[in-house]
Structure 1
Amino acid sequence: MTRSQRVTLRDVADQLGLSANTVSRALAGKDQVSESTRARVAAEAKRLGYVPNSHARSLVSGRTMVVGLVITNPSNPFYAALISAIERQCRAGGYSVLLLVTEDSAENEERAVQELLRFGVDGVLGVATESRSDVWDGLREANIPVVQLSRDIADRGLDFVGIDVESAIRDAVVRVASSGTRRIWLLEEDLRVSTVSARIAGFRRALDDLGIAHDRSPVLKVPTRRTNGASLPWRPDDAYALAASLITPGNHPDLVITANDYFALGVYRAIRECGLTVPGDVRVLGYGDHPFAAYLEPALTTIRLPADEVGTTAVDLLLRRIVDPDGPRACIRLPAELIERRSTG
């Protein structure tokens, strides 16, 4: 056999003096094959470099054993952790993952969905751009189950697994606001997505609970950097520029909530440059508990997101849908955790 020839199931069987059917059952972990035979087959397959032909297997099973994963931007620490959790859980279930990145571009999202349809994946996990919710309908029409991640497009009737963002923000703000807090600012992303809407709703619920007037506690949109219709990774200077233009020694909030911990970096700098301190003059609450949050000075109070749990829960739900596609829509919102550090006193 030359190096250019693909090792087949028959090659493994011939080397061991077994039937191809026995080798196939042994590699698939089927019954009626002894443990000693299974071990011999596995060792010989490894020695010869045998790799199962996924195309042939899909023709027999009717499945590709591949799950599509559509992510807006893998540089986001939450999504990076989510990808790892999904890949790990899919691998445990015998599935491979096909990753496609949209960068919040509707054009890239439509291209990704078409690619998944051409590939014929068994199911899809996706973070939607939410600019065109109908783009996901083609997958459902092709009987490919879809589980939404993080962002919820409720009007499409798709399963959803994400975080209870509204409750996380509401509970965190109420907890860290001191009795003298009268002015709170929320520095939010300018994307029109459900997670942003949920943070704003949670923020306003907290203001109501605290008896703070909404007009003294604005939602300030940080311009999201874009190029050719796609959003780019967060940078502290986006929030710094906005905060520096608004915060002065005589005009500053008691508490700033940021939509992500990168924004908090920029806010820290703006506060210090005008001679104020964190948390003495302005307290800061972040969102995401990114790796650097605990190492800031002062360490950043922030909301930790359960990326691993979101990923494993979503994969488990999708694999159940692949086997049994019927049933009511599932909407799972997992709790987040407030990590209190020195930035809120």
Structure 2
Amino acid sequence: MTEARRATLRDIATALGLSVNTVSRALGDKDSVSPKTRAAVQAEAARIGYVPNTLARSLVLGSAMTLGLVITNPSNPFYAQLISSIELRVRAQGYSLLLLVTDESAENEQRATEALLRSAVDGAVVVPVQAEWDHWRRVRDAGIPLVFVNRDVPELDCDMVGVDNERGSYEATSHLIAGGARRLLVLEEDLPITTTADRVAGFRRAMSDAGLKVSDDSIRAVPTKRYDSLALPWQPEEAYRFARTLVSEGNHPDGIVTGNDYFALGLLRVLAELGLEVPGDVAVTGYGDHPYAGYLQTPLTTVRLPAAEVGTTAVDLLLQRLRSTVTERPRKTLIRPELVVRASSRTARPSQSAAAGRAERGGG
């Protein structure tokens, strides 16, 4: 029995009467090959089952032709979109992708950096845990370019691409204020990460610009199950329990800014159970624009995050670093999110006394 032989570029070239160089350029989408020739080469490659030998190509080019992607939580819808956009961009550029998940664990992140070094990737896109950074210094000093995504590590002075979270929170808060809200608070997660800090900063700035006071009670950190099971996304029941406690304390805001749509989901249920109207008594905004946000009984005003644009921008910046012979200073790129206005914040608010009265009846 004859052992199957791997199809080669020469097999395609012989079948079509072309040179191996022409076949290689056609499969590499080089402009010097006519569309007709490219189509013929691609058809023959598919017919004989040709698969590029990435190891051989790596030896020729002096490159692993592989990029690393280190992600904290792939169940987070933002990061799920990010992974998809990065994989598509990487594949279109002829690279493979090595995906490593840390689950917000500094120990897992250190293991990920060891895997990057062993795999000799050309570069890496990284969502850092932000607990430590010496292991990332080792990767950078080994000559592997890094682009941090969504969270920065200022100590390393590397490229960073992310969402302008301060701007997103500022616009959401300003929107509620413009609609008449004056007693606002923000529900944020309690992880010590820059994305949370940036959203709180946006809330503070919007309140300050409107001449409204921000007290310690205005900023509430919601306990998150991600400490117990870090692979989970945010859970609505965390905000649900927290909001019930908040209202039972007699705190009756007329505007609530949440740091993610899951928190908003739990909050909306509490408000409905207490007989509070949204947005009549309490206006609510989310953050993330997850698929369900527009299909709730009261569609949710939220901030849409440009996950795909962040991903492709990060890959393009990393490839520029790999292909450039000129050393440039690291770039910090923040992409503006979009406020999506829906019914949870659309109308003006009633008087303070009317809202408080309804809250007392609902909390019976």
Normalised to the residue count of structure 2, the TM-score between the two structures is: 0.87
CA distance in 2, matches of 1:231, 1:73: 6
CA distance in 1, matches of 2:123, 2:169: 32
CA distance in 1, matches of 2:38, 2:273: 68
Unaligned runs of 5+ in 2: 348-364
- The equivalent of 1:338 in structure 2 is 339
1:113 matched to 2:113:
yes
Deviation of 1:100 (Å) = 1.5
CA distance in 1, matches of 2:170, 2:91: 36
| Kept in 2: contact 1:249–1:274 (CA 8 A) | no
Deviation string 1:93-121 (CA, Å, 9 cap, x unpaired) is: 22222221111111111111211211111
CA distance in 1, matches of 2:337, 2:36: 48
Question: Residues 16-31 of structure 1: matches in 2 within 5 Å?
Answer: 20-21=20-21, 23-28=23-28
Could you say what secondary structure the match of 1:138 adopts?
Answer: helix
User: How many pairs does the alignment contain?
Assistant: 345
The 3 A distance-change label for structure 1 pair 14 and 337 is closer
- The equivalent of 1:279 in structure 2 is 279
CA distance in 2, matches of 1:212, 1:199: 17
Deviation of 1:18 (Å) = 5.8
The 3 A distance-change label for structure 1 pair 200 and 39 is closer
1:85 matched to 2:74:
no
The 3 A distance-change label for structure 1 pair 286 and 38 is closer
- The equivalent of 1:214 in structure 2 is 214
CA distance in 1, matches of 2:216, 2:130: 30
Normalised to the residue count of structure 1, the TM-score between the two structures is: 0.91
Could you say what secondary structure the match of 2:75 adopts?
Answer: coil
- RMSD of aligned residue pairs (Cα, Å): 2.4
Deviation of 1:173 (Å) = 0.7
Deviation string 1:6-56 (CA, Å, 9 cap, x unpaired) is: 223344445556665554455445688676665544333322212111111
- The equivalent of 2:355 in structure 1 is none
Deviation string 1:112-148 (CA, Å, 9 cap, x unpaired) is: 1211211111111111010112221122112111111
Letter in 2 for 1:252: H
| Kept in 2: contact 1:248–1:274 (CA 8 A) | no
| Kept in 2: contact 1:249–1:276 (CA 8 A) | no
Deviation string 1:262-295 (CA, Å, 9 cap, x unpaired) is: 1001001111222212111111111011111111
The 3 A distance-change label for structure 1 pair 69 and 219 is same
Deviation of 1:83 (Å) = 1.5
1:59 matched to 2:36:
no
The 3 A distance-change label for structure 1 pair 35 and 273 is closer
Deviation string 1:187-216 (CA, Å, 9 cap, x unpaired) is: 111111110110111111112122222227
Deviation string 1:152-182 (CA, Å, 9 cap, x unpaired) is: 1112101011111112211221122147533
- The equivalent of 1:183 in structure 2 is 183
Letter in 1 for 2:173: V
Deviation of 1:231 (Å) = 5.2
Could you say what secondary structure the match of 2:215 adopts?
Answer: helix
CA distance in 2, matches of 1:18, 1:288: 52
Letter in 2 for 1:5: R
Letter in 2 for 1:340: V
| Kept in 1: contact 2:224–2:235 (CA 8 A) | no
